[in-house]
Amino acid sequence: MRISISSKIITSLFLLLISTQLIIAGGNPVRSKNGMVVTASPLASDIGAKILSQGGNAIDAAVAVGFALAVTYPIAGNIGGGGFMVIHLADGTNTTLDFRETAPLAAFEKMYLDSSGNYAPENSQLGWKSAGVPGTVHGLITALNKYGSMQLKEVIQPAIDLAENGFILTYDIANSINAYYDDFMKYESSKKIFTNNGKKFLEGDLFIQKDLANTLKLIRDKGIDGFYKKEIAEKFVAESQKNRGIFTLKDFEDYKTIEREPIIGSYRGYKIVSMAPPSSGGICLVQALNVLENFNFTKDEWGSSRYYHLLVETLKRVYADRSFHLGDPDFYPVPVGFLTSKKYGSNIANLITDKALPSNRISATNLKYHESEETTHYSVADKYGNAVSTTYTINSAFGNRIIVEGLGFLLNNEMDDFSSKPGAPNQFGLIGSAANSIQPKKRMLSSMTPTIVLKDDKPFMVIGSPGGSTIITQVLQTIQNVIDFGMNLYDAIAVPRIHHQWLPDEINYENHGLSEDVKRNMTERGHIIGSIKSLGRMEGILIDIKKNVFYGTSDPRGYGKATGY
C-alpha cells in the first residue's frame, strides 16, 4: 500500500525540525584562515572582508564596516549617532575609543520636565531636542588615523558606492523601514528617503540615498573637519535652528573622541577586555564574572535552575550597583577599582543563598532608566593579531526618525539615555541616578558591551550585541557558554538566553528558554518569571590560535552574516 504525505504535513515537519534546531542549536560557525568580519548586514560584512583581503588590518575593516552600515542597516547603523570601540593590537596593546554622543551646550538638567516638574518622555525621544551631538564620524576617522593602515578614501568608498548606486532591499530591511512608515511620513526629509514616493518599499526595490552619498563624499574629501567644522555642521545647525533645536556650531567644533583605558578583568584564566564608562558594559560584565567565578559549573548544567538562580542573583546586584554608581567619568567619580575587584565579587558571592533575594531588599536607589534596544554591533579580526569590537547606535529604531534635510542621515535620540528625572522611566526600563543627569557636553550612560576575550594575551573571542539594557547579560551568557559549557561559537550564540536587570524584579526569557521544571524550581526559590522576548543579536568571532582558524557567527535571531577570507 502506498502512503501519501501531504505537502502541508511535510512543511509542518520541516518547520518543527528548524525550530528544534534553534532550541538545541547544533549549528556550525563560518570558518576561515586569514580573518573574519561579522556584522548585522551581509553587504557590510563582505565589504569588511574585502578590506582585509586587500591587506588592510582589523581597524581598517572596522571603519569601512562602520560607514557601510550607515548605508545598508539604517535601523541602527549611522553617522548621526555614536558608540564605542574596543581594540586589541598585535603588539599586545589594549585600548578603547569613546565616541558616544554628547549633550549640546544648551542642554540642562530639567530640560525634559514640564511646567509642573513632570517628566515628558516624548520630548527626550522625539524631535530635534532629543538628539545628542553625533560622534560616529569622529570616532571612526580617529581610529583609522591612529591605528589603521589605509587611507580614508579607500575604506569609505564602498559605502559611497552603495549609497549612490543603491542596493536591492531584502525582505527584512524593507519590513524594518515600512514598520515606521507613519513616522517617516511626518517629516518631508524622511519621507523623501524612507518611502518610495510616498508608498511603502517592497522586497527587491532599489534603495538609493543620494544625499547620504554626497555627505560621505564630503567626509572622504575633508575628513573630520568636513563633518564637524564645515559644510555638514553648518547645514546641520541651520536645520536645527529651523526646527527649534538647540545645536550650535560650537557643539560640533568642541566634539572629541576620547581614548580610554579599557576595563580589564579575568575569568577562569581568560583576560576580559571591555568598554569603560560612560558605557556600563565593561564594569558590569567584569563584576558579574567575578561573582560567578566563585561557583563551579559542569557542562551539563547549562539551562539548569541552579545556574539560572546564581546568574539572576548575580545580575540583581550588578544592575543595582549600575544604577547608583555609573555615569560619564569626566563628570562623576565612578568607583571602577572597587566594582571590578575580585574581593567585591567574592563578597557578593558569599551573600547569595539558595533562595532569591527580592530586588527591593537589594540597596541602591529607586530611580528608573531605560535604554533602547536598537543598536548594532560588529566584530573584526585579522591575520596579523589585531581585533576590533564595536557597538554603535542612534538609540531607538531609526533614531528619532528625522533625516537631516540635504544630508541624508538620521538623527539620534540619545538624550533619552540620560536620567531625566529621578524615578521617571524613559523608553525601555533601566534605573539611573544623579551620576547620569543631563549636563552640557556630558556623555549619556550606555549598556553597550563591546568585548574582546584574550587567551595567553592573544585574541580568543570578539563579541558584542545590541539590546539596550539586555546587552550585558547576553554578552555574559555567551562568554560563559563557551568557557563554562564548552559550546562552539554558533551554539553559544544561538541557544536561548534569559535576562534580569534588578528592576523590574522578573526574569525575561526567550521562547523555549526555560522548561516547566526550571520555571517551577525557580519559582520555589522565590524568583518571579516574567515574559518571553527576543534577547540580543550577537555578532561574534572565536579564534583557534593553534590551528590558525577563525570562526564567525552572526546571530540567527537576525539577518546578518559572518564573512571570512
Residue type, 9: I
User: Do 36 and 127 lie in a common domain?
Assistant: yes
Active site residues: 375
Q: How far apart are CA 297 and CA 277, in angstroms?
A: 30
- The CATH number of residue 471's host domain is 1.10.246.130
Q: Which helix (H) or strand (E) holds 141?
A: helix 136-147
CA-based end-to-end distance of the chain? 52
User: Do 109 and 222 lie in a common domain?
Assistant: yes
Q: Number of folded domains in the chain?
A: 2
Q: Which phi and psi angles does 466 have, rounded to 5°?
A: -80, 180
- Residue 311 in any domain: the answer is yes
SS3 label, residue 561: strand
- Residue 289 in any domain: the answer is yes
User: Do 391 and 365 lie in a common domain?
Assistant: no
Residue 554's beta-bridge partner residues?
539
- Residue 203 in any domain: the answer is yes
User: Do 159 and 295 lie in a common domain?
Assistant: no
Mean pLDDT to the nearest integer, 449-465: 98
**Contact of 77 with 537, CB cutoff 8 Å:** no
User: Do 248 and 342 lie in a common domain?
Assistant: no
Q: How far apart are CA 124 and CA 107, in angstroms?
A: 11
Q: Is 384 left (phi over 0), alpha (psi -120 to 50) or beta?
A: alpha
User: What strands lie across the sheet with 539-544, from one edge to the other?
Assistant: 30-32, 549-554, 539-544, 458-463, 451-455, 270-274, 263-267
Q: How far apart are CA 214 and CA 224, in angstroms?
A: 15
User: Do 221 and 320 lie in a common domain?
Assistant: no
Mean pLDDT to the nearest integer, 527-548: 96
Q: Which phi and psi angles does 472 have, rounded to 5°?
A: -60, -45
Where do we find the cell 518571553? 532
Range of the domain at 321: 260-371+448-543
Q: How far apart are CA 198 and CA 363, in angstroms?
A: 52
- Residue 1 in any domain: the answer is no
Q: Which long-range contacts (CB under 8 A, 24 or more apart) does 168-175 make?
A: 168/204, 168/205, 168/206, 168/207, 169/201, 169/202, 169/203, 169/204, 169/205, 169/206, 169/207, 170/203, 170/559, 171/203, 172/559, 173/72, 173/73, 173/207, 174/200, 174/201, 174/202, 174/203, 174/205
Q: Report the predicted TM-score, pTM, of the whole model to 2 decimal places.
A: 0.93
Neighbours of 178 (CB within 10 A): 18
Question: Angle at Cα 470 formed by Cα 467 and Cα 473, nearest 5°?
Answer: 130
Mean pLDDT to the nearest integer, 447-466: 98
User: Do 271 and 313 lie in a common domain?
Assistant: yes
Band of residue 367 on the pLDDT scale cut at 50, 70, 90: very low
**Contact of 312 with 507, CB cutoff 8 Å:** yes
Residue range 289-347, pLDDT digits in tens: 999 999 999 999 999 999 999 999 999 999 999 988 999 999 999 999 999 999 999 99
Band of residue 162 on the pLDDT scale cut at 50, 70, 90: very high
User: Do 146 and 229 lie in a common domain?
Assistant: yes
Q: Specify the pLDDT at position 430.
A: 58
Residue 334 exposure: Cα atoms within 13 Å on the Cβ side: 25
Q: How far apart are CA 461 and CA 45, in angstroms?
A: 17
Mean pLDDT to the nearest integer, 454-480: 97
- Residue 211 in any domain: the answer is yes
User: Do 194 and 283 lie in a common domain?
Assistant: no
Q: Specify the pLDDT at position 121.
A: 84
The two counts, helices (H) then strands (E), for the chain are 19, 19
Asked if the model's pLDDT at residue 366 lies above 50, the reply is no
User: Do 131 and 210 lie in a common domain?
Assistant: yes
Asked if the model's pLDDT at residue 113 lies above 80, the reply is yes
User: Do 96 and 196 lie in a common domain?
Assistant: yes
Q: Specify the pLDDT at position 152.
A: 98
User: Do 240 and 215 lie in a common domain?
Assistant: yes
Q: How far apart are CA 304 and CA 295, in angstroms?
A: 14
Band of residue 422 on the pLDDT scale cut at 50, 70, 90: low
- Residue 425 in any domain: the answer is no
Mean pLDDT to the nearest integer, 414-431: 68
Band of residue 143 on the pLDDT scale cut at 50, 70, 90: very high
- Residue 438 in any domain: the answer is no
Residue 264's beta-bridge partner residues?
273
- Residue 242 in any domain: the answer is yes
Nearest alpha carbon to residue 446 among 108, 63, 141, 96: 96
Asked if the model's pLDDT at residue 23 lies above 60, the reply is no
Cα-to-chain-centroid distance, residue 124: 20
Query: For residue 210, what are the contacts with CB-CB under 8 A and spacing of at least 6?
Result: 163, 164, 408
Residue range 256-292, pLDDT digits in tens: 999 999 999 999 999 999 999 999 999 999 999 999 9
Q: How far apart are CA 399 and CA 413, in angstroms?
A: 5
On the 0-12 / 13-18 / 19+ scale of CB atoms within 10 A, 421 is: buried
Q: How far apart are CA 253 and CA 433, in angstroms?
A: 29
